[in-house]
Structure 1
């Protein structure tokens, strides 16, 4: 019979119940049930929407250290074939938040049973994938009362082997924004195009024009990405489409580039509206601030890692991924790091299958780091 590490088992159970942002009711209940098994006098719990704040009392605290994990899943149909695959149709922990939670519970359990000097605040944050839980959680009355002086978090990285931690000072993750564009023209019979305003054609022109923003409006020494991941329009093959919708994302390495990209999108859409005689509405949806690692705590963490046996420290480049933990780092000194999990399939892929050996490794690294702060 397979001898499964207890927090690997927890990961597998959480993996089966992925829920979308602010719908993490089963997940919150699972976390609370687990916390009930620990000595209650050692910590306090405060609920926030579908998330949790858990404050573990220090022995003689002079400050509070924050550790954040995200808890939501993605609207993806899982294709891993694992025996513990998602039980929720069209939902999957395809970004590793099941890993993040099990690691956080492992660290919390260690700190409860091996008290440290400082108060440790564990933040179980909903809605990281959207619409964004970090910023409103940061602004909550609970966080105003329990505001850490230092905060950190991790994110799994499929491209690195287990035992690797990738990190850098400064910019780690990009500024991100969702992008939704709705076009409305005039539908009609496919045989009479001159009597219509075809939004499939308008959408096609718009997609190609959006790509010119990166090549002709952004400094080549800066970086930005516009991706249109989904287009919908029309009803059947012989009716000209009256409406079309584009859904995508914007990623930039600087706030200034984000502002420039949006200015150009709006200018191009005005041109599309005029040339195709249609209405166009833009919605930027969720916008995430860049993840910027503060120099001093990041250096301290790197120095700790370099002294720890069995850890491969890699100073990585910045990435175009987005993470709303950036809002917390905007207000509180700290850092985020990549945790190697050696999966052949990447983040947000229906076959993402991280190596579970990374869970025990991460619990050990994070627990020891907190203990020596």
Structure 2
């Protein structure tokens, strides 16, 4: 079996939640320990790993980031190497992401380029967010790269396709949790209560007007309430209700405006339904804004390769905390086609593993080009 396939399948079986990637970190460290160590420097941070490949000259550092956590989804692929962790799955392709990073690291551990290389195995991309914390570490500051690269699998594109664009690629994202507390009571005496099921339903309806009536039609934003909980049994009026959702915008300004409108509407619910409300935005991710020059250069480089096809794609409302890493450092993310009939975060996601060789081959050529320039 191709060694990349073996790595991917072994990692696929051990998906773990953010900052709980203990087995994953152990697997990574064990694999890295078997590589030639002459050019490697290894540091751990929580459940993540930094690996520096010392360059022959070392004037600059090229960073490469991969995420390592899984999702709380029960796998339904029926693969022989399905997840062995009940209720967890690598349903966003992070097993492929890690495999590609290890493939590159394997090559460069024996074949360093002029520049230093910094491989970052980042925990908690799916939440609560590891990138922003990882770049605040002393290790990152000491080995800070001059540019950073990352990729994300794309089920909708065929294998051999690379899709990206200069500028905005992924949206600003924020979780949204709203808790309402009123006064419960017997279903026969509603006039003695403040019903939080009714209040929460009213609030959900009001929230849908924010995008349509407060965001510029030429801009884009999404508010999704994906979960509502409230009440205990059918004949008791609910004292509490909880709304859980997400906010996505294509500009920082729109995110601020949307949150301001949410807060105003929640204040109105408090007054109108005589209740108390709290808002928690949970995990927030900065937009992935690809640096214009390095992204254009990468796309031009890929266009010269005969075995891959580069596409100038549109921005997406997906979120990725890699945006924090390229907020102040030039870098870019790109989509890697994996041709799956099921999309990201689906219990039956089955990426085409041929994409592994495509990515490792292309990125080796690109890093050789950048690292010896």
Q: Same fold (TM over 0.5)?
A: yes
**Aligned match of 1:371 in 341, 365, 368?**
368
Question: Is 1:13 matched with 2:10?
Answer: yes
Q: 1:68-87 counterparts in 2 under 5 A? A: 68-87=65-84
Report the Cα distance in structure 2 between the residues aligned to 1:364 and 1:236, rounded to whole angstroms.
Answer: 58
Q: What is the Cα deviation at residue 57 of structure 1? A: 1.3
Q: 223-232 or 58-67, which moves further after superposition?
A: 58-67
Give the secondary structure class of the aligned counterpart of 1:127: coil
Contact 2:150 2:333 in 1 (8 A): yes
Report the Cα distance in structure 2 between the residues aligned to 1:215 and 1:115, rounded to whole angstroms.
Answer: 53
- Report the counterpart of residue 302 of structure 1 in structure 2: 299
Q: What is the Cα deviation at residue 115 of structure 1? A: 2.0
Q: What is the Cα deviation at residue 196 of structure 1? A: 1.1
Report the Cα distance in structure 2 between the residues aligned to 1:126 and 1:139, rounded to whole angstroms.
Answer: 14
1:302-349 Cα deviation digits (max 9, x unpaired): 111011111110000000000000001002101000000111111111
Report the Cα distance in structure 2 between the residues aligned to 1:215 and 1:365, rounded to whole angstroms.
Answer: 42
Contact 2:174 2:285 in 1 (8 A): yes
Report the Cα distance in structure 2 between the residues aligned to 1:143 and 1:191, rounded to whole angstroms.
Answer: 61
- Report the counterpart of residue 180 of structure 2 in structure 1: 183
Give the secondary structure class of the aligned counterpart of 1:331: coil
Report the Cα distance in structure 1 between the residues aligned to 2:320 and 2:5, rounded to whole angstroms.
Answer: 24
For normalisation by structure 2, the TM-score amounts to 0.98
Q: 1:173-322 counterparts in 2 under 5 A? A: 173-322=170-319
- Report the counterpart of residue 130 of structure 2 in structure 1: 133
Question: Is 1:327 matched with 2:342?
Answer: no
**Aligned match of 1:166 in 147, 163, 166?**
163
Please list every run of at least 4 consecutive aligned residues from structure 1 whose deviation after the TM superposition is greater than 4 angstroms.
Answer: none
In structure 2, runs of 5+ residues without a counterpart are: none
Q: 24-33 or 194-203, which moves further after superposition?
A: 194-203
Q: What is the Cα deviation at residue 117 of structure 1? A: 1.1
Report the Cα distance in structure 2 between the residues aligned to 1:241 and 1:121, rounded to whole angstroms.
Answer: 53
- Report the counterpart of residue 354 of structure 1 in structure 2: 351
Report the Cα distance in structure 2 between the residues aligned to 1:349 and 1:189, rounded to whole angstroms.
Answer: 41
Query: RMSD of the TM alignment (CA)?
Result: 0.7
Give the secondary structure class of the aligned counterpart of 2:327: helix
Report the Cα distance in structure 1 between the residues aligned to 2:271 and 2:348, rounded to whole angstroms.
Answer: 44
Q: What is the Cα deviation at residue 113 of structure 1? A: 2.3
Question: Is 1:108 matched with 2:128?
Answer: no
Question: Is 1:55 matched with 2:47?
Answer: no
**Aligned match of 2:142 in 135, 142, 145?**
145
Q: What is the Cα deviation at residue 59 of structure 1? A: 1.4
Give the secondary structure class of the aligned counterpart of 2:176: strand
Report the Cα distance in structure 2 between the residues aligned to 1:37 and 1:7, rounded to whole angstroms.
Answer: 15
Report the Cα distance in structure 2 between the residues aligned to 1:85 and 1:193, rounded to whole angstroms.
Answer: 50
Give the secondary structure class of the aligned counterpart of 1:92: coil
1:238-274 Cα deviation digits (max 9, x unpaired): 1111101000000000000000000000000011111
Give the secondary structure class of the aligned counterpart of 1:130: coil
Q: What is the Cα deviation at residue 114 of structure 1? A: 2.1
Q: What is the Cα deviation at residue 350 of structure 1? A: 1.0
Report the Cα distance in structure 2 between the residues aligned to 1:85 and 1:237, rounded to whole angstroms.
Answer: 39
Give the secondary structure class of the aligned counterpart of 2:277: strand
Contact 2:37 2:109 in 1 (8 A): no
Q: 233-242 or 246-255, which moves further after superposition?
A: 233-242
Report the Cα distance in structure 2 between the residues aligned to 1:233 and 1:366, rounded to whole angstroms.
Answer: 49
1:1-40 Cα deviation digits (max 9, x unpaired): xxx2111111111011001110001000000010111011
Contact 2:175 2:283 in 1 (8 A): yes
